[in-house]
Structure 1
Amino acid sequence: MKRAVRPLVLVVVLVALGITVHFEASVDAQGAAYATGVLVLVSSVAIAVTISARRQRERGKTILFSCVSLVFIYTTIANRVERPDGLKIAAFFIAAVLLVSLLSRFRRSTELRATSVMFDTQAQDIIQQATSDGLIRLIAHEPVNTSKERYVHKHEHAILASHIPVHAPVVFLEVRVSDYSDFAQDIDVRGVTRHSQWVLEATAPSVSTAIAALSMAIRDQYEVMPHIYFRWTEGNPLLNLAKFIFLGQGEIAPLTREVLREAEPNLQRRPWVHVG
């Protein structure tokens, strides 16, 4: 929690220092900027109340609050035109928030984001049945095409590219991206049998971190070493990296390996990542 709050504290301190330097520590000179902030806040509140009254079909209040909103909007615009310092400070504050947010998200992009991993009854049965020789083979599969032909093709490719024994049991692992703004959440894993194939389904803010967390949970709860099989992602690697940072998708294989490397320093206990 402290690491999550720290960037916001840095932004507030940075903006406060910037304002102090810009106005040469003069309280009187900051009056116009302060007034702009207050006017924007009051205007927003007036508009919100107007919308609320309109939704409740209160005609009289809607007209009254609309007039009040127009007055505050006009005053805010006039204040900004005469003294644009408030707008400059707002732009500086927004830029600082965006910059620090991007740096923070980039630095923490490979953290293990799962607060817990829970397997339902069918998922537990699948894991136990798929375990052989002290390991379990997980094939990462994007849950866009769930046809029988796609599963068969993905399995055959893993056999050819990663030399999985033909008759070895495998489990398909599918992660759907939820709200990526949620940095961490509990991951509930559901087990299903689709087209005679074992599938583990989960929803998480990030595919790579979810796969890493799930594989480590299987290792710890079932005392079996997971082997995860990926295909290389097509496309520009820099674009795929940006997709991972902002959307939780992208170059899944190397990022999963990096998340595992940071989460588990002991190489002997780290789940294996295969890419072909």
Structure 2
Amino acid sequence: MTTFTSKAAPAVGHHKTFWLWVMCLTGVDYFSTLGYQPSIAVRNAGLLAPVATVVLVLVTLLAALPLYRYVATRSFDGQASLGMMARLITGWPGKIAVLVLLGFAATDFVITKTLSAADAAEHLISNPFWPLEHADRTTEDRQRLVVTLTMLVILGATFLRGFREVIGLAVGIVGSFLVLNAIVVVCGLLYVTEHTHRLTVWFDHVRDGEWYLGDAPLRGGGPVTLAIVVLLIFPKLALGLSGFETGVAVMPLIRGSRSDTPDNPAGRIRNTGKLLLTAAVIMSGFLMASSLVVSTVIEPTSLVDVDAHGNPVQTPDGKRPPAAGRALAYLAHGEGDVKLAPFFGNVFGTIYDLVTVVILWFAGASAMAGLLNLVPQYLPRYGMAPEWARAHRPLVILIASIALFVTWIFNADVEAQGDAYATGVLVLMSSDSVTSLIDKFRRREGRPWYRRLSWWFLGIAVVFTYTLGAIVIEKTAGIKIASFFIAAILILSIASRIARARELRFQGFHIPDPVSKLLWDTIRHLELSILVPHRPGRRSLTEKETVIRKEHRLPADAMVVFVEVELEDPSEFHQKPTLQIKHEEGKYILKITDAASISHTLAALALEMSKVGQVAEIHFGWTDESPVSGTLGFLLFGEGNVPWMVRELIHKAEPNPARRPLIIIAGQ
């Protein structure tokens, strides 16, 4: 097997480490949501938050966990839903699907940055040691916006200087954050068990329909109404599902076993399953416990600006509710009418705030790193981005600018951004569930359809599709932001693909057998330079040769080399075709397969043959197609306007006119 390429591509490797430490890298994104998730849960579900959280935990353990353990077995290169979609759907539909998913992934990553920075700012300006006064809500909002923008600028500047995620640092940050949250939550649970009337008051509110929920889909009491409302509102708590996509994305960093192979890293897959299970169990425990503590210990009016029946109210000082966006920090500071532990207060609360700010900043850094890794993997490879998109600094500036714009649009409001974040998360999870369902169905080929279909995964797909639909219908901010990203990506991608269509984009030929390699060397040694493209099925080689010699006035002793090009996927940008050569009845036939474009393949072949000896010449017949249809065929299907496009490609690729292959067109 022989391969020759135009450029050598460097191999990319990853440092492998213990799965538990890698979980902390995932936890920077996943666990950091505890900084705002309990508050957002009460805002979106009112006092029904603990019940809705139970549903969320069931979805986590029974749907998200088995789904992503399967995704890990099918996309162990860390590309998750995007990688599975790219393999499942080929051609232009696959490219478009990936670009749409990329838009939602960009929404997810950007909102992770902006939401994390906004909540970090919320913790800072609400700290009693914050030096600036904010006497009213306008001043408070302005300070939070300025602090958020400042943190995003610092984050962007950090990446401009170069940033490498250090797993050891992530372990320390996540460990400290979980310990502090465990202290707050455990103290809260102990308080509730000692003061059971808190549970009684909460239960009475829930039973009587006094939910402190502003946009409840139904009102009233009774178990049926309660069940319907909980099922309708639990999708708004989908922030608690945010860590699974990241858990699969970090797979390349997980150390497997010595028996792992590139095609079957069983040890790494097994350890990823441990990572996902451990993270899901830890987060599920924190979600249920924190939701119960926050809903029973903190006065609802300190969390939301509505009364028990959902009517809007204002705080006495006109500012946001004091626990909004920082419920656990509110308890850690000993604010409100309850102090859960003697050591809770401004000192402990400030320690909690600082650790929370650090992990939220790291969550933004993780999102930034994710985008910097994701964009170069797809857009430049598809020819749908300018080459500068592979460069580090321009991409950092672009992403940072978008984050600043999104923050300004949302006025750095933590709760307002939560809906957009949930939309991005749920689209990726819905995509994963549908893709996995189809993948399982295809892998069970040969069975009856009802045995090929994974009924459990069908249920998972239904759950996530419903959850996504509910959040999109109820909260449109996320789909609007995602639509902006999708439209921008599609427009820029199409424009870039058209602009770069005349690049040679050739990565070399793959010659699979020794006979073809020997014949290739023979053709070049004999300086056989007359290339004649031939499309099988129209004329025989003998008829084609007779016509070409007559119309092009080729001498009888000039040996013709026939070229047959078979397209594989015209939507691919870079190509590395397979070249097989046969010598039949005194004729050399170059059979090229796996090509993305006929014009690019012929131009690359002529340039390769012209590197030594005589300059190649390609002989074409006339075509009757119109220039417009030919150009569209060239852009979309890899064929059309072939002679003219081959000439343009050669002129652009070979600056020396004396070494340029000749393009000769003749015929009737």
Structure 2 unaligned blocks of 5 or more: 1-8, 10-375, 382-386
How far did 1:51 drift? 6.1
Question: Larger helix proportion, structure 1 or 2?
Answer: 2
How far did 1:241 drift? 1.2
Q: Aligned match of 1:209 in 600, 605, 610?
A: 600
Could you say which residue in structure 2 is the equivalent of 1:234? 624
Could you say which residue in structure 1 is the equivalent of 2:428? 41
CA gap of 1:48–1:142, structure 2 versus 1, over 3 A, is closer
Cα separation, 1, equivalents of 2:470 and 2:567: 45
CA gap of 1:231–1:25, structure 2 versus 1, over 3 A, is farther
SS for the counterpart of 1:115 is coil
**TM-score normalised by length of structure 1:** 0.79
Tell me, yes or no, if the aligned pair for 1:231 and 1:275 is still in contact at 8 Å.
Answer: yes
**TM-score normalised by length of structure 2:** 0.36
Moved more, 185-194 or 12-21: 12-21
1:3-53: CA deviations, max 9, x gaps?
656458598678656645654554433222212222223334445566677
Cα separation, 2, equivalents of 1:163 and 1:13: 62
One-letter amino acid of the counterpart of residue 70, structure 1: V
CA gap of 1:144–1:106, structure 2 versus 1, over 3 A, is farther
Cα separation, 1, equivalents of 2:582 and 2:588: 6
Q: How many residues end up aligned between the 2 structures?
A: 266
One-letter amino acid of the counterpart of residue 217, structure 1: E
Cα separation, 2, equivalents of 1:14 and 1:84: 23
Superposition map of 1:252-267 within 5 A: 252-267=642-657
CA gap of 1:165–1:64, structure 2 versus 1, over 3 A, is closer
Q: Aligned match of 1:109 in 487, 501, 508?
A: 501
Tell me, yes or no, if the aligned pair for 2:580 and 2:590 is still in contact at 8 Å.
Answer: yes
Cα separation, 1, equivalents of 2:440 and 2:573: 35
Question: Larger strand proportion, structure 1 or 2?
Answer: 1
Moved more, 248-257 or 75-84: 75-84
Could you say which residue in structure 2 is the equivalent of 1:124? 521
Tell me, yes or no, if the aligned pair for 2:531 and 2:619 is still in contact at 8 Å.
Answer: yes
Tell me, yes or no, if the aligned pair for 1:228 and 1:273 is still in contact at 8 Å.
Answer: yes
Q: Aligned match of 1:142 in 535, 554, 562?
A: 535
CA gap of 1:137–1:96, structure 2 versus 1, over 3 A, is same
Moved more, 117-126 or 88-97: 117-126
Question: Is 1:93 paired with 2:485?
Answer: yes
Cα separation, 1, equivalents of 2:632 and 2:404: 31
Structure number with bigger Rg: 2
One-letter amino acid of the counterpart of residue 30, structure 1: Q
Cα separation, 2, equivalents of 1:154 and 1:21: 66
Tell me, yes or no, if the aligned pair for 2:527 and 2:613 is still in contact at 8 Å.
Answer: no
Moved more, 4-13 or 70-79: 4-13
One-letter amino acid of the counterpart of residue 601, structure 2: A
Moved more, 12-21 or 72-81: 12-21
Structure 1 unaligned blocks of 5 or more: none
How far did 1:93 drift? 2.3
Superposition map of 1:68-79 within 5 A: 68-79=460-471
Question: Is 1:28 paired with 2:415?
Answer: yes
CA gap of 1:48–1:176, structure 2 versus 1, over 3 A, is closer
Tell me, yes or no, if the aligned pair for 1:143 and 1:175 is still in contact at 8 Å.
Answer: no
Cα separation, 2, equivalents of 1:259 and 1:87: 41
Cα separation, 2, equivalents of 1:53 and 1:212: 41
SS for the counterpart of 1:190 is strand
1:219-258: CA deviations, max 9, x gaps?
21x4121111112332221221122122211111011111
Per chain length, whose mean CA-contact separation is higher, i.e. which structure has more relative contact order (CA < 8 Å, sep 6+)? 2
CA gap of 1:90–1:173, structure 2 versus 1, over 3 A, is same
Tell me, yes or no, if the aligned pair for 1:212 and 1:259 is still in contact at 8 Å.
Answer: yes
Superposition map of 1:146-225 within 5 A: 147-148=539-540, 151-194=541-584, 196-203=586-593, 204-220=595-611, 222-225=612-615
